[in-house]
Amino acid sequence: MSVFTAFHVGAVAALFFFNWPAFFTTLALHWISLSLGIGIGYHRLLTHRSFATPKGIEYFLATCGTLALQGGPMFWVAAHRVHHQFSDRDGDPHTPRDGKWWSHIIWMLVGDATHSDIARCSRYAPDICRDRYLVWLSKYNYVPLILLAALLLAVGGLPFFLWGIFFRATIGLHATWMVNSLTHFWGTRRFATRDDSRNNWFVALFSFGEGWHNNHHAFPTSARHGLAWYEMDVSWIASVDAQIRPMRVT
């Protein structure tokens, strides 16, 4: 909780140290961490194995994911696979049926996410647990973020540091948490899935396409979440050259 509080305070402080170079650097890092790292790396590749890619690219995407302040890939993948197995039922770690604020942030503070459940990781993410680099990255997930913070501080001083680390990570956290919360009670349903998942354009806008959540729950192994021409899915566009598993959409 103290880490989340510190980052929110740092995000507010960044507003008093604005400059355009820091802002545009933050936009680039936001895309790298949240789209390449979380949306493509942690979610569509590592969790659902929606496409194939060389190990070097897989490790690069996973490393980008650590910059989002969402922990290492082993625990992220396990928690998300649990979510899909028990979506909006008993066992779902962050369903809004247990409370809207629970699904958004409280589950991260007092739920199972507050400790590293190695047994659950071994059961739900055995492929990640067998990969030596991903296990190392899960254990030392803070290292890439610290290195990035040092680089930003050296290159651009306090504005780059506050915007590129604190402001960016805080916005990215809430964008991801909105997928857990808002897209399970606010939006439209194209497919009759067994859960409460919904498509939400607002969340999709801030999460690079993760907000087309009903589409995703209907076709969880698809690398493409935005299925209609008007459903912008930046993460899909970024990975369009990858080998995509066949998917039929009706």
pLDDT digits (tens, 9 = 90+) for 211-238: 999 999 999 999 999 999 999 999 999 8
Tell me whether residue 223 is in a domain.
yes
For 118-162, how does the pLDDT look when each residue is reduced to its tens digit (9 = 90+)? 667 888 999 999 999 999 999 999 999 999 999 999 999 999 999
Q: How far apart are CA 199 and CA 115, in angstroms?
A: 31
Please tell me the distance from the alpha carbon of residue 213 to that of residue 94, in angstroms, as a whole number. 14
In a domain, 250, yes or no: no
Q: Specify the DSSP class assigned to residue 52.
A: E
Stretches where the chain sits below pLDDT 70 are 1, 111-119, 240-250
pLDDT score at 241: 53
Taking the complete model, does pTM exceed 0.75, yes or no? Answer: yes
**Tokens encoding 70:** 């969402």
Residue 151 placed within a domain: yes
Whether the CB-CB separation of 65 and 37 falls below 8 Å is answered with: yes
Report yes or no: 231 and 212 within 8 Å, Cβ to Cβ. yes
Is residue 41 in some structural domain? yes
Kindly state whether residue 249 falls inside one of the protein's structural domains.
no
CA torsion angle 80 12 167 185 (round to 10): 30
Contact 15, 159 (CB under 8 A): no
Which residues, 6+ apart, have CB-to-CB distance to 51 below 8 Å?
A: 44, 45, 223, 239, 242, 243, 244, 245
Looking up tokens 């050296």 gives: 154
Q: Is residue 61 part of a domain?
A: yes
pLDDT (0 to 100) of residue 121: 84
- In DSSP terms, which residues pair with 59 in a beta bridge? none
Residue 72 within any structural domain of the chain: yes
Contact 227, 217 (CB under 8 A): no
Predicted local distance difference test score (pLDDT) of residue 119: 67
What is the tally of structural domains in the chain? 1
Report yes or no on 112 lying in a domain: yes
For 145, the domain range is 2-244
